[in-house]
Amino acid sequence: MAFVKRFLYLIVPLSVGLYFVREYFQGCKYTGNERLDDKVVLITGANTGIGKETAKNMALRGARVYMACRNLNKANAARDDLLNITGLPADKIKVMQMDLSSFRSIRNFVTEFHKVEEKLHILINNAGIMFTPFLKTEDGFEMQVGVNHLGHFLLTNLLIDKLKTSAPSRVVTVSSLAHMSGTVEFDNFRGEKGYSRINSYGNSKLMNILFAKELGRRLEGTGVTSYSLHPGGIVTDLQREVLNPFFVKVVHVLGYVFWKTIERGAQTTIYCAVNDNAGKETGLYYRFYSLYTRCLLY
């Protein structure tokens, strides 16, 4: 009996403590009920992770959602899954092919998108890669900078006129706190003067933030607002691509306490995409860092 008491004295406070620690790191869940009926939303990398969760949320709010993805097989499987989960009609979620590592593919995508949609109300630059070995895009740029920043930079600029004619509209760019280790190496976009997987990722995330900030400044008064955000630490396919199986398991165990679920990781993106107060701001960098508080990082 004494052993049971000692065990309970230990395990109960520990369990309660772990619960509140986990809830803190999970961040808050956005509860706004804004509708997006008759709105068009375009999300890159929407076949997995927070992109897929964001696509589900946007579709349930009434938007017509386009999933712009590199791999059509994976994208169509994700679309089928979302349609089954939501019970929405097939025309509410659509898939289009686009490879952010190819300017040609991005331009072709935009040409086709113009043919099927007159409007675009929310562009979510969500897709990303992390810690890849040294590779180059089709256009000769280092892969992480090319996909995470340059591809989205081109896509956004090609869609600016459509966003303006659809105003009020928004551009939401998913960045990361990894920007804190980043610099903008204008003379090394091709990675030929030295390459670090970690540094390049941080560089690309810093470029995301600076782009979103400058975009907000340049589009002020047009009805198009711009946002960047840190979604939080999340266990996603990005880790599976760069870690060996043992470390993936370690990340999952630690992630249960200290990292967000995919659903919670999508909340800052959703806030920036739909919140009415956010619609009055532009060029800022956001994260939800507790149950109750929104933090403006810049």
pLDDT tens profile 126-169: 999 998 999 999 999 999 999 999 999 999 999 999 999 999 99
* Active-site residue list: 201
79-83, 167-171, 179-183: least confidently modelled range: 179-183
| Residue partners of 195: CB distance under 8 A and separation at least 6 | 134, 142
Q: With the CA atoms of 209, 154, 98 and 44 taken in that order, what torsion angle do they form, in degrees rounded to the nearest 10?
A: 20
DSSP β-bridge partners for residue 125: 173
Contact 169, 224 (CB under 8 A): yes
Q: Residue 165: give its domain's CATH number.
A: 3.40.50.720
Q: Is the pLDDT of residue 20 over 50?
A: no
Q: Taken in order 229, 230, 235, 238, is the CA torsion positive or negative?
A: positive
Number of domains into which the chain is organized: 1
Tell me whether residue 116 is exposed, middle or buried, using C-beta atoms within 10 angstroms of its C-beta: 0 to 12, 13 to 18, 19 or more.
exposed
Q: What percent of the chain has pLDDT over 70?
A: 78
**Is there a contact between 271 and 294 (Cβ–Cβ < 8 Å)?**
yes
For residue 190, the 8-state DSSP code is T
pLDDT level of residue 292 (50, 70, 90 thresholds): very low
Which residue range(s) make up the domain with 218?
Answer: 2-296
Close Cβ partners of 80 (under 8 Å, ≥ 6 residues apart): none
Sorting pLDDT into bands at 50, 70 and 90, what band is 10?
Answer: low
| pLDDT of 113 | 99
ω into 168 cis (within 30 of 0): yes
CA dihedral 230, 236, 240, 241 (to 10 degrees): -60
Evaluate if residue 42 carries a pLDDT over 70. yes
How many DSSP H helices and E strands does the chain contain? 11, 8
pLDDT in tens, 204-226: 999 999 999 999 999 999 999 99
Q: SS3 of 37, please?
A: coil
Q: Are 25 and 260 in contact (CB under 8 A)?
A: yes
